[in-house]
Chains A and B, each alone.
Chain A
Amino acid sequence: MDNIEYRNWVKEHVDIGNELLYLSFEDCKATGLTVKEIVELTEKAMVAYSKKEVEMPAKIGLHPQPDSLMHAMPAYLPKEFAAGIKWGCNFPTNKKRFPDITPTSCQIIYNDHESGLALSIMDATWITEIRTPGVSLVAAKHMANLDATTFGMVGCGIQGKSHVKMIEIVLPKLEKIYVYDIYEESMDRLIKECQPLVNAKIIKAKSPDDIAKNCEVIASAVPIAHKPNPFIKADLIQNGQTIIMCDCHSVYEDGVYKKADIYTVDSIEQHKLLEGYGYYPYGLPEIYAETGAIAGGIKPGRTSNDQLIVSNNVGMAVEDMMVARRIFDLAIKKELGIKLPLWNKTK
């Protein structure tokens, strides 16, 4: 379908300019989009970004509570005719102040790229939950030793759980998954929730060092501290390991990044900005390539079993918009959601 055909198809289902489709968290899940498909779409978006086929300004944000963030993440993917914005919030303070409210809540406004009109407003909490580990999986697929039998997860929150549930898609030979969190009960909850869903045995690590010493591939997703307070020492990390982060430089000592044979980021522009904001007080190491450039075959990924590879991915709006289009299309086909008038009274 070209852009006009796509628009006409959409118009058969949604009266563009007069109504929009609202999709709740449950509606998004009900589209039946699989985790595997989301990972594929995430990869496609990362490659398109690194090939400079998309428009995506660096995100801006608000910080209403300590260490909280609300990020405005617009993106346009011309080849997919997908334009819109994710408004993503993370309030770690909710844990104490509002235990019933998850720290993360996100919405996407998905637009008609021909007129700018809103087509859909959808929950993006679910998309974020899946596509964030999806990014790590894409990194692992192209940079980890795929025969790895051990995986480590630092941080056992929502993202930690999703990582553990999904990782065997790219590392099918895993035997042991070590997990670590500063809260014991978070580890217990992860094991209870994830063990039935994975083949590997999930083991509670005694310490972060335990993970560093035992795991070939390690992912981390802890709350991002504005000033890193690393708790894994550089000398514990060895050649051959693959380190993937969703939390910038929060977990490891600076030496880990500096001694890596390959260090990638998902978006050079975004991480340079973070450097400017003070998130990398010791500076970024030399960047080998963008993660999407490796996924797209523009640069080689792992070429030997001895390389120490570090991949630092903060997540990008293009991934959200790529998945949003698919969810919107599926929702239309399956007649999910509620149609809302744009102009007229709802009651």
Chain B
Amino acid sequence: MNNIEYRNWIEGKLDINNELLYLTQENCRNVGLTNDDILEYTEKAMIAYSAKKAEMPAKIGIHPLKDTLMHAMPAYIPEHFACGIKWAACFPENRKRYGYSQTTGVLIYNDAESGSPLCLMDAVYITEVRTAAVAVVAAQKLANTKAKTFGMVGCGVQGNSHVALIEKALPELEEIYIIDVYEPAMNALIERQQPNVKAKIIKAKDYKEIAEKCDVICSAAIITQKPEPKFKDEWFRKGQTIIMSDCHTHYEDATLKRADKYLLDSIEQHELLIDYGYYPWGLPEIYGETGEVLGGFKAGRENDDEFIICNNVGMAAEDIMVARKIFDLALEKEIGTVLPL
């Protein structure tokens, strides 16, 4: 479909500019988005971004309470006619104060031809799945895909999604080691994810065990303003792959600086994070963007000995691409509520 055909297809189901589709979180979860869809659309977004075929200004935000943030994340991916904005909030005290989840958000998906809004949807589900998908597609190209062991730091919503998806990249996994500062979170992850994966999920004794036993390590814990390294540099060896969804939080500067290849999802975004103080020791030399490797513009892993680190903070382009797929599926299956504009 070209842009006009896509628009006509939408118009056959939704009266653009007079109606818009509303999708709750449950609607989003039930449109039938498969893990392969999530990986495919996330990857497409990362490649388009790194090929400079996406418009995505650096996010801006407001901070109503101490340590809270609300981020405006617009993106337009012309090749896929996908256009819109995610408005995401992170209020760490929410669970304690109100019983709400700390991360919430709403997404507006627009017609790139006329600007009219097409769909309002909950963005919690998208954020949950696309963050892990970024790490998993990165692992496909950067990790030794024959890896038998995987480590997961952080067992929250994101840790769960990572574990649920990781075998898509590492099909020969035998053991998955997990760790969290909060023991019940580890137990809950095992209970939820063991039925979904072939590898055996094991509670790690400590960070050292993860570093020493795992070929590939992902982390998705709370990003601290300054890194608070839990892993000692001497525990790592050649051939390992480290993928972070939480900046440099857990690693010593020496580890980051001795990587054979160090990649970022968006150089622009991470350079902004330097200004905000997240990288007090600076960024290591950058090999390239993750999307450049995914798109084949740069080589990924070239031999079994390379020590590779990939640091991804997540991008609006991924949200909007996954949103397009959710919207398309919802229209096809007539899911959601049509509202008057």
Looking at the complex, which of B44-52, B84-92, B245-253, B260-268 is the stretch in contact with chain A?
B84-92
CB distance from A202 to the nearest CB of B (A): 30
**B72 contacts the other chain (CB 8 A):** yes
Q: How far is the CA of A62 from the CA of B65 in the complex (A)?
A: 28
Which residues of chain A come closer than 8 Å to B341, judged between CB atoms?
A: 24-25, 105, 123
B341 to A: closest C-beta gap in Å:
6
The answer to whether A107 and B339 touch (CB under 8 A), given A17-B100, A64-B115, A100-B17, is no
Please state if B22 and A344 are interface contacts (CB–CB under 8 Å): no
The reply to whether A121 and B55 contact each other, CB–CB distance below 8 Å, is no
Contact, CB under 8 Å: B336 / A105: no
- Knowing A17-B100, A60-B60, A345-B27, the reply to whether A116 touches B83 (Cβ < 8 A) is no
Q: Which residue of B lies closest to A102 (CB)?
A: B17
A341 to B180, CA, bound (A): 33
B117 and A111: CB pair below 8 A? Answer: no
Restricting to A160-219, which residues have a CB under 8 Å from any CB of B?
none
Set of chain A residues within 8 Å of B110, measured between Cβ atoms: 70, 89
Cα–Cα, bound, A341→B90 (Å): 20
Which of B74-82, B130-138, B170-178, B197-205 forms part of the interface with chain A? B74-82
Q: How far is A58 from B58 in the complex, measured between Cα atoms in Å?
A: 11
Query: How many angstroms between the C-alpha atoms of A25 and B62 in the bound complex?
Result: 26
User: What CA separation (Å) do A68 and B90 show in the bound complex?
Assistant: 31
Would you call A74 and B62 a contact (CB within 8 A)?
yes
Tell me if A89 and B115 are in contact (CB < 8 A): yes
In the complex the two chains form, is B98's CB within 8 Å of A115's CB?
A: yes
Q: What per-residue 1/0 map shows which CB atoms of A1-27 lie under 8 Å from chain B? A: 000000000000000110000101110
Q: How far is the CB of A329 from chain B (nearest CB, A)?
A: 18
- Expressed in whole angstroms, the minimum distance between the Cβ of A189 and any Cβ of chain B is 20
- Residues on the B chain within 8 Å of A61, using CB: 57, 74
Cα of A121 to Cα of B109 in the assembled complex, Å = 13
B57, B64, B73, B115: which has the most chain A beta carbons within 10 Å? B115
Given A97-B114, A342-B24: A72 and B74 interface contact (C-beta under 8 Å): yes
B100 x A85 contact (CB < 8 A): no
Scan residues 91-115 of chain A and give those whose CB is less than 8 A from a CB of chain B: 91, 94, 97-98, 100-101, 103, 105, 107, 109, 111, 113-115
- Confirm or deny: B225 has a beta carbon within 8 angstroms of a beta carbon on chain A: no
Q: Which of A17, A60, A73 is the one whose CB lies under 8 Å from B98?
A: A17
Contacts of B91 in A (CB 8 A): 115-116
Within the complex, which residue of B59, B104, B114, B117 is in contact with A118, where a contact is CB–CB below 8 Å?
A: B104
Contact with B along A36-80 (1 / 0, CB 8 A): 000000000000000000011111111111001010111110100
A25-B61 Cα distance, complex, nearest whole Å: 26
> Are B115 and A94 in contact, CB atoms less than 8 angstroms apart?
yes
Cβ-based interface call for B97 (8 A):
yes
Is B114 touching A91 in the complex (CB atoms < 8 A)? yes
B94 within 8 A of A: yes
Give chain B's interface residue range (CB within 8 Å of chain A). Answer: 35 or more
Which residues of A sit under 8 angstroms from B302, Cβ to Cβ? none
- Asked if A83 is at the interface (CB within 8 A of a chain B CB), the reply is yes
Interface pair A62/B25, CB less than 8 Å apart: no
A341 in contact with B24 given A58-B60, A61-B57, A347-B337 (CB within 8 Å): yes
Cα of A111 to Cα of B68 in the assembled complex, Å:
13
On chain A, the number of residues with a Cβ less than 8 Å from chain B's Cβ atoms is: 58
The complex places the Cα of A94 from the Cα of B17 at a distance, in Å, of 12
Known pairs A24-B340, A111-B89; A57 contacts B61 (CB<8 A): yes
In the complex, what's the smallest C-beta–C-beta distance from A75 to chain B, in angstroms? 7
B331 lies within 8 A of chain A by Cβ: no
Given contacts A115-B91, A345-B27, contact A101 B116 (CB under 8 A): yes
Q: How far is the CA of A94 from the CA of B106 in the complex (A)?
A: 26
Which residues of chain A have C-beta atoms less than 8 A from B61's C-beta?
A: 57, 74
In the assembled complex, the Cα of A345 lies from the Cα of B24 at a distance in Å of 6
State A73–B57 Cα separation when bound (angstroms): 13
Rounded to whole angstroms, the CA-CA distance of A40 and B340 in the bound complex is 29
A22 with B62: CB separation less than 8 A: no
Question: Which chain A positions have C-beta within 8 A of B87?
Answer: 74, 85, 87, 109
Determine if B283 is an interface residue (Cβ-Cβ < 8 Å).
Answer: no
**A344: B residues at CB distance < 8 A:** 24, 26
* A109–B117 alpha-carbon span in the complex (Å): 13
Determine whether B108 belongs to the interface, using a CB cutoff of 8 Å to chain A.
Answer: yes
Q: A90–B116 Cα gap in the complex (Å)? A: 9
Cα distance, A216 to B11, chains bound together (Å): 48
Contact of A343 among B57, B97, B112, B122 (CB under 8 A): B122
Q: Kindly state whether residue B183 has any CB partner on chain A within 8 Å.
A: no
Contact A343 B89 (CB under 8 A): no
Question: Closest residue of chain A to B86, judged by CB?
Answer: A72
Q: In the complex the two chains form, is B74's CB within 8 Å of A116's CB? A: no
Least CB distance from B206 to A in Å reads 34
Q: Do the beta carbons of A98 and B114 come within 8 Å of each other?
A: yes
Contacts A61-B57, A76-B63, A116-B90 given; indicate if A94 touches B74 (C-beta within 8 A): no
Query: For the complex, is B70 an interface residue (Cβ under 8 Å from A)?
Result: yes
Residues of B within 8 A of A55 (CB): 62-64
On whether the beta carbons of B115 and A76 are closer than 8 Å, the reply is: no
Any B CB within 8 A of the CB of A117: yes
B120 contacts the other chain (Cβ, under 8 Å)? yes
Given contacts A61-B74, A123-B341, A343-B122, contact A116 B64 (CB under 8 A): yes
The 3 closest A-B pairs by CB, nearest first: A116-B89, A89-B115, A72-B72
Would you mind naming 26 contact pairs between A and B with Cβ atoms under 8 Å apart? A16-B98, A17-B99, A22-B22, A60-B57, A62-B74, A62-B76, A63-B76, A64-B112, A74-B70, A87-B74, A87-B108, A89-B115, A91-B114, A94-B114, A97-B113, A105-B17, A105-B115, A111-B70, A114-B97, A116-B68, A116-B90, A116-B91, A117-B100, A117-B104, A344-B26, A347-B337
Chain B residues proximal to chain A, CB less than 8 Å: 16-17, 22, 24-27, 30, 55, 57-65, 68, 70, 72-76, 78, 83, 85, 87, 89-91, 94, 97-100, 104, 106, 108, 110, 112-117, 120, 122, 335-337, 339-341
A: which residues have CB within 8 A of B? 16-17, 22, 24-26, 55-65, 68, 70, 72-76, 78, 83, 85, 87, 89-91, 94, 97-98, 100-101, 103, 105, 107, 109, 111, 113-118, 121, 123, 338, 340-347
